[in-house]
Chain A
Amino acid sequence: MFTQGELKRYDRQIMMKEIGAHGQEKLKRSKIFIAGAGGLGSPIAIYLAAAGVGLIKIADGDRVELSNLNRQVLHWEEDIGKKKIESAKDKLIRLNPNIKVEISYDSINQNNVMQMLDGFDVLVDALDNLATRYILNKAAIKKNIPFFHGAVNGFEGEIMDIIPGKTACLRCMYHGEPPSKKFPVVGATTAVIGSIQAMEVIKYIAGIGDLLVNRLLIFDGLDMKFKEFKVKKNPECEHCGNIRNKQ
């Protein structure tokens, strides 16, 4: 059930036949975990909060720095020095007081990831390194939680959706272990990629459209092109290879 305020707030979504009141109700009941409150986490959280996702939990162990502000639009100059999760929660609740926002100041690691993901319907990748992405990928598969991957570098970005047990996972696609290092990026790149991730999450929750499963979408902002590549589920994958392909 929606309040009059909610009906008005979500009117432009409810009026779409793909979403309607039923889809909006699904969004309201959904529990989303966003790993990271930075460049990708900002647009992901903003658009999911605005869309009416009922519970958003954000985990990030960093504080806001001046050098974050070219892209991390949840954080403003006045937030420098604050925990990113607190800055994020403040903005999201001000944007949409109808939703619930939970926060965790923990950096995700192998010891805490399984517990952190307890009870969530969807996991969204807003991380800044591949090592932790692999931890999340593995945990998502073990807990059977759909995982929405996104990553950026410079003017380039990529997105792929992972449905455990059914589709290719991050490890099916990536085989190397790049070192964690400072990466270049323009804020508009994270906006494009994070917005597409939010779109994919909304589609998944509402049960509509074609997801980016077994498909890697690559965005090149300099040439202003999108390219798509097929990724196969690897039966020998060290993360998901022991899960039977149900498709």
Chain B
Amino acid sequence: MSVQINLHKTHRRYTNGQESVYVEGNNVKECLNDLIGKYPPLRKEIFDKKGQLNPLMEVYLNGESAYPNELAREVKDGDKIHLIYMLAGG
């Protein structure tokens, strides 16, 4: 099972500049935890102190919003996850 996580630009400083990382997992949460296992500093970017998904970040699975219950969404081999930050400037 290999899932591609596409990282937001601000996360790439933790992945040696890699835009995407291949991870293992049966659902989004397992994939994110596998990603954090490879790059531990990403934990504070992706999860808040209570272990909930960073409320300023949105998860897209295969190009579609994974909301609600993003973390529980099942994934299959070849799926793509995108981590998107909310933009608020104008």
Is A180 an interface residue when CB atoms closer than 8 A count as contact?
yes
On whether the beta carbons of B88 and A39 are closer than 8 Å, the reply is no
Report the interface size class on chain B.
20 to 34
On whether the beta carbons of B88 and A153 are closer than 8 Å, the reply is yes
Tell which of A91-99, A103-111, A120-128, A138-146 binds the partner.
A120-128
Query: Which one, A128, A174, A228, A234, contacts B89 given CB within 8 A?
Result: A128
Q: A156-B9, A175-B58, A218-B84 are in contact. Are A183 and B89 (CB under 8 A)?
A: yes
Q: Nearest Cβ in chain B — how far from A13, in angstroms? A: 27
Q: Which of B33-67 contact A (CB under 8 A)?
A: 54-58, 60, 63-65, 67
Query: Which one, A36, A39, A41, A234, contacts B68 given CB within 8 A?
Result: A234
Residues of B within 8 A of A130 (CB): 86, 88
On whether the beta carbons of A151 and B88 are closer than 8 Å, the reply is yes
Considering the chains assembled together, what is the distance between the CA atoms of A129 and B86 in angstroms? 11
Q: A229-B60, A229-B82 are in contact. Are A178 and B65 (CB under 8 A)?
A: no
Residues of A within 8 A of B55 (CB): 175-177
Query: Which one, A126, A129, A231, A232, contacts B88 given CB within 8 A?
Result: A129
On whether the beta carbons of A178 and B86 are closer than 8 Å, the reply is yes
On whether the beta carbons of B89 and A152 are closer than 8 Å, the reply is yes
Residues of A within 8 A of B88 (CB): 128-130, 133, 151, 153, 178, 180, 183
Q: Could you say which of A130, A150, A176 has the most chain B C-beta atoms within 10 Å of its C-beta?
A: A176
On whether the beta carbons of A157 and B87 are closer than 8 Å, the reply is yes
Count of chain A residues near B, Cβ 8 A: 43
Interface flags, B8-26, vs A, CB<8A=1, else 0: 0100000000000000000
> Nearest chain-B residue to A232 (Cβ)?
B65
Q: Which of A114-172 contact B (CB under 8 A)?
A: 125-130, 133, 150-153, 156-158
On whether the beta carbons of B65 and A150 are closer than 8 Å, the reply is no
On whether the beta carbons of A176 and B56 are closer than 8 Å, the reply is yes
> Nearest chain-A residue to B60 (Cβ)?
A229
Q: A156-B9, A175-B55, A222-B9 are in contact. Are A41 and B90 (CB under 8 A)?
A: yes
On whether the beta carbons of B64 and A152 are closer than 8 Å, the reply is no
Residues of B within 8 A of A133 (CB): 88
Is A173 an interface residue when CB atoms closer than 8 A count as contact?
yes
Considering the chains assembled together, what is the distance between the CA atoms of A229 and B68 in angstroms? 16
Per CB-CB distance, the 9 closest pairs between chain A and chain B, nearest first, are A176-B55, A183-B89, A151-B87, A130-B88, A128-B90, A230-B64, A40-B90, A153-B87, A152-B89
Pick 24 A–B contacts, CB within 8 A, sort by A.
A40-B90, A127-B90, A133-B88, A151-B87, A151-B89, A152-B90, A153-B85, A153-B87, A156-B9, A173-B58, A174-B58, A176-B57, A177-B55, A178-B56, A178-B88, A218-B84, A222-B9, A229-B64, A229-B65, A230-B63, A230-B65, A231-B64, A231-B65, A234-B67
**With A218-B84, A231-B65 already in contact, 5 other A-B pairs whose C-beta atoms are closer than 8 Å:** A151-B89, A176-B57, A180-B88, A229-B65, A234-B67
